[in-house]
Amino acid sequence: MQLTKFGHACVRVEKDGRRLVVDPGGLTEPQALEDVDAVLVTHEHFDHFSEEALRKAAERNPALRIWTNTSVARRLDGLGARVTAVGEGAAFTAAGFDVKVYGTWHAPIHPDIPRIGNIGFLVDDALFHPGDALTVPDATVDTLLLPVHGPWSATGQLIDYVRAVAPRRSYAIHDGALSDVGTAMIEGFLGDNGPGVGAPYHRLTAGASIELG
């Protein structure tokens, strides 16, 4: 399975000629959705979900399928059975990838800001994208996509989160608002010079790909 990082929180995975994209939002390069077979969306925030981009992709490819939570599914009305609303505990196959759903809520930002729904996706029992939450799935995770920066997280929480999930490795996502200094600081805490998280930490630049296996 090949993993490609796109802007901010979006990734694409490919195997056997099929392409699955997770969280193509307003900070994602348009090419992320080229020749895509299926899309997963964790929640409705603009940096994870672009209604315009998904409708254009669905127009280009009548076979495109989308799985997401109820809030996002409602905003994609008109696409009919091509959009499936899923929640915690769901399991399905998307473009040949086996997907399991974990979590319910977005991480708290502030008591005065209402929480919204957020689901995470475990792909092929190996790759976990939590969206904007620090959900710990009750499953073995080979590769954790780690949301390293947001108004709802602190570096100490990330350290504890990686320890709790105990993946074989982690890759940074949700890093679109970080400067080079911020990126280096996060790497310092999550890498070899930090207190230790039990798994190697990596960051891919936008457009870079790696083979997972």
Max Cα–Cα distance, the chain, nearest Å: 51
Residue 17 has pLDDT above 90, yes or no: yes
Which amino acid type is present at position 81?
A: A
Beta strands in the chain (DSSP E): 2-5, 11-15, 18-22, 38-41, 65-68, 83-85, 91-94, 97-102, 120-123, 127-129, 143-147, 169-173, 201-202, 209-211
Please give the share of the chain, as a percent, with pLDDT higher than 90. Answer: 98
pLDDT for position 193? 86
* DSSP three-state, residue 166: coil
Q: What is the pLDDT of residues 111-129, one digit of tens each?
A: 999 999 999 999 999 999 9
**Where does the pLDDT of residue 149 fall: very low under 50, low under 70, confident under 90, or very high at 90 and above?**
very high
Average pLDDT, the chain: 96
Mean pLDDT of 143-149: 98
pLDDT for position 73? 98
> Which CATH number is associated with domain 2-211?
3.60.15.10
Q: Which residue has the tokens 């996002």?
A: 72
Sorted by where each begins, the domain ranges of the chain are: 2-211
pTM over 0.95, yes/no: yes
Mean pLDDT of 53-67: 97
pLDDT for position 132? 98
**Where does the pLDDT of residue 213 fall: very low under 50, low under 70, confident under 90, or very high at 90 and above?**
confident
Please give the share of the chain, as a percent, with pLDDT higher than 70. Answer: 100
Query: Taking the mean position of all CA atoms in its chain, how far away is CA 118?
Result: 11
pLDDT for position 56? 96
pLDDT for position 38? 98
Q: What is the pLDDT of residues 174-207, one digit of tens each?
A: 999 999 999 999 999 999 889 999 999 999 999 9
